[in-house]
């Protein structure tokens, strides 16, 4: 697949699935905005991509903070002039039973796993609509299909993401 000249944002790009997606996109010619909370992880992914001839820019960001989603889309525009793909991959979970989870933990999970993809998609769609082109991909979990008791909050957020 040739993605030469395309620009993508990948959340949760510092490790795991997000890292693999970012590297795969870059290996196929895509310019990637790497988003995650941990700057050192972003620098490692950025270095790996650039050592293979790709282009990537790490943006350390906490998606639960108001305005972060808008700033992330603005970063894509500042670095590369456009946005073609948004991959909502970032997620947090607390392995806490339903009766033990705190309101703060619930809010954190919902802010990162459900609210941020919504807000990022809105911000990205403004650019994509203007360009008359674009893709938004939401990465979810099988926890959305059968929620373990210890992952009630996480499973709920993942189900909300796919519905």
Joined together, the tokens standing for residue 88 give 């909502």
How much is the average pLDDT of 19-28? 98
Joined together, the tokens standing for residue 43 give 């620098």
Query: Helix (H, G, I), strand (E, B), or coil: what is residue 18?
Result: helix
pLDDT of 115 > 80? The answer is yes
Answer whether 22's CB lies under 8 Å from 32's CB. yes
Answer whether 131's CB lies under 8 Å from 80's CB. no
Categorize the per-residue pLDDT at 151 as very low, low, confident or very high, splitting at 50, 70 and 90: confident
| Other C-beta atoms lying within 10 Å of the C-beta of residue 160 | 16
How much is the average pLDDT of 42-54? 98
Considering the candidates 80, 98, 135, 154, report the single residue annotated as catalytic: 154
- The pLDDT assigned to 101 comes to 92
pLDDT of 108 > 90? The answer is yes
- The pLDDT assigned to 76 comes to 98
- The pLDDT assigned to 95 comes to 87
Q: What pTM did the predictor assign? A: 0.95
Told to judge if 154 belongs to the known catalytic residues of this protein, a careful annotator would answer yes
The second-level CATH assignment, the architecture, of 7-162 is 3-Layer(aba) Sandwich (3.40)
Q: Measured between alpha carbons, how far is 109 from 103 in angstroms, rounded to an integer? A: 10
Calculate the CA 35 to chain-centre distance.
6
Categorize the per-residue pLDDT at 97 as very low, low, confident or very high, splitting at 50, 70 and 90: confident
């Amino acid at each position: 697949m040739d993605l030469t000249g395309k620009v993508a944002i990948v959340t949760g790009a510092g490790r795991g699935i997000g890292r693999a997606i970012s590297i795969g996109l870059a290996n196929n010619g895509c310019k990637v905005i790497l988003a995650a909370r941990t700057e050192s992880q972003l620098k490692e992914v950025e270095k790996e991509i650039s050592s293979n001839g790709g282009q990537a820019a790490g943006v350390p960001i906490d998606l639960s903070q108001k305005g972060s989603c808008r700033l992330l889309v603005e970063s894509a525009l500042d670095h590369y002039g456009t946005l073609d793909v948004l991959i909502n991959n970032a997620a947090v979970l607390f392995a806490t039973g339903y009766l033990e989870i705190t309101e703060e933990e619930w809010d954190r999970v919902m802010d990162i796993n459900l609210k941020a993809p919504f807000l990022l998609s809105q911000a990205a769609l403004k650019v994509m609509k203007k360009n008359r082109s674009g893709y938004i991909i939401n990465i979810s979990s099988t926890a959305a299909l059968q929620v373990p008791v210890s992952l009630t909050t996480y499973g709920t957020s993942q189900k909300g993401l796919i519905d």
